[in-house]
């Protein structure tokens, strides 16, 4: 700012260039309804007005007085605001494209008008708890400890923007006894997110991809989080941790690790495509451990939009890390998201460092979680009222 001030012409050129770049991007992605084919998505066009407003902010008739830095800096600030508005509009368009594609992949077809009127539910975070048909007792152990239920769950969603759902697909025999059991459980608790997915341990990468795609088609959240059903969470600490990064784009949060690539079939986490990672003994790229991780809105939209071409490795945490590896993403190694069970998390809580999540590394979750979840909650829980005191 101490150098030569910007000229009016330079500011005008910058403003127009920014608008044209945005226009070029949107022209490449929008498809006219009359030309849309079965395999294309018509993107909601109601943000054209917003883009026109941004163009008006770049009005060349603005008067700039040479030699008055105050006036020039005022115009620079307005230009930055216009560019920021354009970026926000593009981010929203990406979300709506993700919604449209998810709707189509689910076999639903809507006109442009209906898609334009499709309003996503606003939220701060969507917490998807990965669960299985055989895990009814695990789910009940969470409902009895850190996860609110009934009216409290609804209140948390409405007043704090915290959405919590058990995430599960369908059995290999749709409508069978397993599906009916989950239907009855959901009718009682109303806390499930059902996916168009056949459940199976070796299909976790596909399930994770479908979870993010489905979640962004329902909720417009700042963060999307996945957690296993044998992990203890402190919701208040989780909200406080995520809130620190809400102003940053493309955030990937979790306990980052880089474990060995296992090439022997008898290994629990055997990687059939081990040869892609180099010589024997090599390690994976840095990625968040699978028990718990969160990604920001734009990354969830990216996964949804590019879902058909995202490669799936044997382990879902590795798959997620690979999807984000080549992007401009900030990895946040948040160690409070992988505390041990008592005495570890208990000592930290007594010292004023309440953990976001606790589990046993040896079991990839809390060992004997049905029996021990309440013990961990009593020793390491933040208190029922903590989440209500977090200012978002």
pLDDT tens per residue, range 158-172: 999 999 999 999 999
As given in the structure block, the two tokens for residue 51 are 């883009």
The whole-number average pLDDT for the span 272-297 is: 93
The whole-number average pLDDT for the span 188-216 is: 93
pLDDT at 124 over 80: yes
State what percent of residues in the chain have pLDDT above 90.
62
User: How confident is the model at residue 88, as a pLDDT?
Assistant: 57
Q: Is residue 56 classed exposed, middle or buried when 0-12, 13-18 and 19+ CB atoms within 10 A define those classes?
A: exposed
pLDDT confidence band for 72 (50 / 70 / 90): confident
User: How confident is the model at residue 110, as a pLDDT?
Assistant: 41
Contact (CB, 8 A) for 138 and 229? yes
Write down how long the chain is. Answer: 392
The whole-number average pLDDT for the span 375-385 is: 94
Helix axes 69-105, 204-216, angle to 10 degrees: 120
Q: Pick the residue with more confidence: 24 or 346?
A: 346
CA quadruple 320, 325, 328, 333: dihedral positive or negative? positive
Q: Pick the residue with more confidence: 96 or 377?
A: 377
pLDDT confidence band for 84 (50 / 70 / 90): low
User: How confident is the model at residue 85, as a pLDDT?
Assistant: 63
User: How confident is the model at residue 152, as a pLDDT?
Assistant: 95
The whole-number average pLDDT for the span 53-82 is: 59
User: How confident is the model at residue 52, as a pLDDT?
Assistant: 55
Q: Would you tell me how many other CB atoms lie within 10 Å of the CB of residue 261?
A: 23
Identify whether 233 is preceded by a cis peptide bond (ω within 30 of 0). Answer: no
Cα–Cα nearest to 252, from 314, 332, 343: 332
As given in the structure block, the two tokens for residue 331 are 């990895």
Percentage helix, strand, coil, to 5, in the chain? 50, 15, 35
1-10, 16-25, 74-83 — which one is most confidently predicted on average? 74-83
Q: What is the largest CA-CA distance in the chain?
A: 78
Q: Which residues of 174-189 are buried (b: 16+ CB within 10 A; e: fewer)?
A: eeeebbeebeebbeeb
User: How confident is the model at residue 50, as a pLDDT?
Assistant: 52
Distances from the Cα of 157 to the Cα of 163, 223, 239, 244, angstroms:
5, 14, 13, 20
User: How confident is the model at residue 391, as a pLDDT?
Assistant: 87
Each residue of 126-165: pLDDT tens digit?
A: 999 999 999 999 999 999 999 999 999 999 999 999 999 9
Kindly provide the residue ranges of all beta strands, DSSP E only, lying in the chain, ordered along the sequence. Answer: 121-130, 162-170, 192-198, 219-228, 232-233, 251-257, 287-296, 330-333, 357-358
pLDDT at 260 over 60: yes
Place of tokens 């903590």: 386
3-state secondary structure of 194: strand
pLDDT at 355 over 70: yes
CA quadruple 172, 106, 179, 223: dihedral positive or negative? positive
Which residues partner with 295 through β-bridges? 224, 252
pLDDT at 381 over 90: yes
**What CA–CA distance (Å, rounded) separates 232 from 129?**
11
Residue-range domains of the chain with CATH: 121-388 (3.90.550)
Q: Tell me phi and psi for residue 164, to 5 degrees.
A: -125, 125
pLDDT confidence band for 202 (50 / 70 / 90): confident
Contact (CB, 8 A) for 357 and 339? yes
Cα–Cα nearest to 322, from 331, 330, 312, 332: 312
Q: Pick the residue with more confidence: 10 or 137?
A: 137
State what percent of residues in the chain have pLDDT above 70.
72
The whole-number average pLDDT for the span 242-254 is: 95
Average pLDDT of the residues of the chain: 83
Each residue of 210-229: pLDDT tens digit?
A: 999 999 999 999 999 999 99
């Amino acid at each position: 700012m101490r150098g030569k001030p910007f000229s009016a012409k330079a500011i005008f050129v910058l403003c127009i260039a920014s608008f044209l770049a945005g226009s070029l991007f949107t022209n490449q992605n929008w498809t006219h309804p009359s030309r849309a084919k079965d395999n294309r998505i018509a993107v909601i066009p109601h943000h054209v007005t917003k883009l026109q407003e941004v163009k008006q902010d770049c009005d060349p008739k603005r008067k700039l007085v040479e030699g008055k830095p105050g006036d020039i800096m005022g115009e620079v600030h307005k230009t930055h605001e216009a560019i920021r508005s354009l970026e926000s509009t593009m981010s929203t368009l990406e979300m709506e494209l993700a919604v449209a594609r998810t709707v189509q992949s689910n076999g639903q077809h809507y006109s442009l008008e209906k898609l334009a009127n499709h309003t996503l539910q606003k939220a701060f975070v969507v917490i998807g708890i990965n669960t299985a048909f055989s895990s009814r007792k695990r789910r009940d152990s969470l409902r009895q400890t850190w996860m609110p239920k009934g009216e409290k769950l609804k209140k948390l969603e409405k007043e704090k923007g915290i959405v919590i759902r058990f995430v599960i697909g369908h059995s290999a025999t749709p409508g069978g006894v397993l599906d009916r059991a989950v239907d009855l459980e959901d009718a009682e608790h109303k806390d499930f997110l059902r996916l168009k997915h056949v459940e199976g341990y070796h299909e976790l990468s596909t399930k994770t991809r479908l979870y993010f795609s489905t979640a962004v088609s329902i909720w417009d959240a700042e963060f999307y989080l996945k957690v296993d059903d044998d992990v203890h969470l402190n919701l208040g600490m989780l909200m406080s941790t995520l809130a620190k990064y809400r102003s940053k784009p493309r955030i990937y949060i979790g306990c980052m690790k880089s474990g060995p690539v296992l090439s022997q079939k008898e290994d629990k986490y055997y990687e059939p495509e081990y040869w892609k990672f180099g010589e024997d003994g090599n390690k994976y790229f840095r990625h968040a451990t699978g028990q718990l991780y969160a990604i920001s809105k734009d990354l969830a939209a990216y996964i949804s939009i590019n879902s058909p071409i995202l490669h799936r490795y044997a382990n879902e945490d590795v798959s997620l890390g690979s999807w984000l590896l080549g992007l401009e993403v900030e990895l946040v190694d948040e160690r409070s998201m992988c505390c041990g069970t008592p005495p570890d998390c208990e000592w930290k809580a007594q010292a004023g460092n309440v953990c976001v999540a606790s589990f046993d590394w040896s079991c990839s979750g809390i060992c004997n979680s049905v029996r021990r979840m309440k013990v961990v909650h009593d020793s390491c829980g933040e208190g029922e009222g903590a989440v209500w005191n977090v200012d978002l």
